[in-house]
Amino acid sequence: MPKQGAYAICQLFKYIVNSALFIQKHFIMKTNFILASLLLAFMLPSCKDPVKQDGGETTPPSGNEKNYKIPVADVRTMVDKYRVERQEIINSNPDLQKLYGAGFEDTRCIWVSVDELRAFLKQVDTQVKEKDLKVKFDGLRMYLTVYPQKQDSTETDYLKSIKAEYRNHTSLLFVPTYYDSLNKISVDFDPSFAEDGKPRQLSSLRSKDSVSAYQSARMMNHGTLCPPMCPTDANGSSGAIYLKQ
């Protein structure tokens, strides 16, 4: 039985016992009153509201804590493995060094503002509700991308906004997804593109020959890349502590 159901039954039982106590206290012999009082005292601890603590504060259900904790040694192992088997291979590639410039170092970590991430999630969630989309905004898909080299004047305004030092570096793209209950899969979408309460397929936006390919889709980018812009304090110590070898 769910905890809330058991709690409701327990409260009903308390009411019955309290009523019986009143009757017993005034109309029945003292021995029965004592027995009923003992019964109520025994039962009270089990009638605690399952969603409240002793102080009376309502608390939301806790998440699965193990999903948010990773042994530090394992973090170091994974970070180092990326450095050796990904970043250093890219950095030592003579063709890429020639293309990107001598001393090029690819990205190892990306910082994203919590405020910007919350604002982005709120934007998507708000538009889903405003357009009355019959889907569940269920998550974000993160695409590994590479900023292109500086092009000519035909670049879009978005590409022109990319910092020169970020060119050719690995970056992340956050794309909202909705849950397709029929096919049991999370699907990329933009609530701006919707018809009859359902998101439109974004496949048409991927075609370079399509006019719609130059429309802007709602997704998040522009984190702080390290390299080239690694955070350091006044003493030159890095804020990205897991990059230390």
Q: Which of 187, 194, 221, 214 shows the shortest CA–CA distance to 127?
A: 194
Per-residue model confidence (pLDDT) at position 63: 56
Which one has a higher pLDDT value, 95 or 64?
A: 95
Q: Are 2 and 25 in contact (CB under 8 A)?
A: no
Which one has a higher pLDDT value, 7 or 192?
A: 192
> How confident is the model over 12-31, as a mean pLDDT?
50
> How confident is the model over 82-110, as a mean pLDDT?
94
Per-residue model confidence (pLDDT) at position 167: 94
Q: Which of 103, 221, 114, 116 shows the shortest CA–CA distance to 165?
A: 103
The residues with which 126 forms a beta bridge, in sequence order, are none
By mean pLDDT, which of 103-107, 133-137, 190-194, 211-215 is the weakest? 211-215
Does residue 237 register a pLDDT over 90?
A: no
Which one has a higher pLDDT value, 100 or 44?
A: 100
Q: Which of 139, 99, 107 shows the shortest CA–CA distance to 121?
A: 139
Torsion of CA 183, 186, 187, 189, to 10 degrees: 140
Per-residue model confidence (pLDDT) at position 142: 94
Per-residue model confidence (pLDDT) at position 202: 72
Tens-digit pLDDT profile for residues 32-89: 544 445 444 544 555 554 444 444 444 445 556 667 888 999 999 999 999 999 999 9
Per-residue model confidence (pLDDT) at position 208: 56
- C-alpha 173/C-alpha 140 separation (Å) is 9
- C-alpha 214/C-alpha 207 separation (Å) is 9
142: helix, strand or coil: strand
- C-alpha 216/C-alpha 204 separation (Å) is 13
Longest dimension (CA), the chain: 100
Tens-digit pLDDT profile for residues 120-135: 999 999 999 999 998 9
- C-alpha 119/C-alpha 133 separation (Å) is 20
- C-alpha 55/C-alpha 215 separation (Å) is 53
